[in-house]
């Protein structure tokens, strides 16, 4: 079995902004082969430019975790470490949030990442090695009447 220290190819979902962006950049700086996944095509060129400005190389890919085709495509990237970071938060009063928004939030934050993880975890099991990291939020500890269903 290969040592976990040898794992180098990392997929980070939600890498276009925030925490995912910074993790992608820092791992690339440390020599990891980073697949930085963004939700929409419009984010690809921006992220590639930002990586060049920081002097790092990223493989930037469009990956909407709610899209079956995008998840299938990700299975071809040979991922050794999966960082499930993509997420959305629907704020507002819980009693006022439309059902479609609630469903969308669960698709992005729970269902999509779980389905992506199932496929990649099977590949990791076949290889006998891999790591899966789930990024969460502390918003569950900061509940107020307008944090909506996110917390």
How far is C-alpha 53 from the chain's CA centre? 22
How far is C-alpha 8 from the chain's CA centre? 17
41 in active site: no
Sign, CA dihedral 83-84-88-93, equals negative
**Interatomic CA distance for residues 71 and 64, integer angstroms:** 8
Which element (helix H / strand E) includes 106?
helix 99-106
Q: 81-84 and 131-134 as β-strands: parallel, antiparallel, unpaired?
A: parallel
Catalytic choice (37, 84, 150, 151): 150
**Interatomic CA distance for residues 29 and 35, integer angstroms:** 13
- Active site (catalytic) residues: 150
């Amino acid at each position: 079995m290969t040592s976990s220290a040898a794992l180098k190819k990392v997929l980070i979902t939600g890498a276009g902004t925030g925490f995912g962006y910074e993790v992608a950049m820092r791992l690339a700086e440390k020599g990891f082969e980073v697949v930085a996944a963004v939700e929409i095509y419009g984010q690809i060129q921006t992220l590639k430019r930002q990586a060049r400005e920081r002097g790092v190389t990223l493989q930037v890919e469009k990956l909407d975790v709610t899209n079956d085709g995008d998840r299938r495509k990700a299975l071809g990237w040979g991922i050794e470490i999966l960082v499930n970071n993509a997420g959305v938060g629907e704020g507002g009063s819980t009693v006022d949030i439309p059902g479609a928004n609630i469903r969308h939030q669960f698709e992005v934050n729970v269902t999509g990442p779980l389905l992506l993880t199932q496929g990649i975890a099977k590949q990791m099991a076949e290889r006998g090695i891999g790591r899966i990291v789930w990024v969460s939020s502390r918003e569950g500890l900061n509940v107020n009447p307008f944090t909506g269903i996110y917390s």
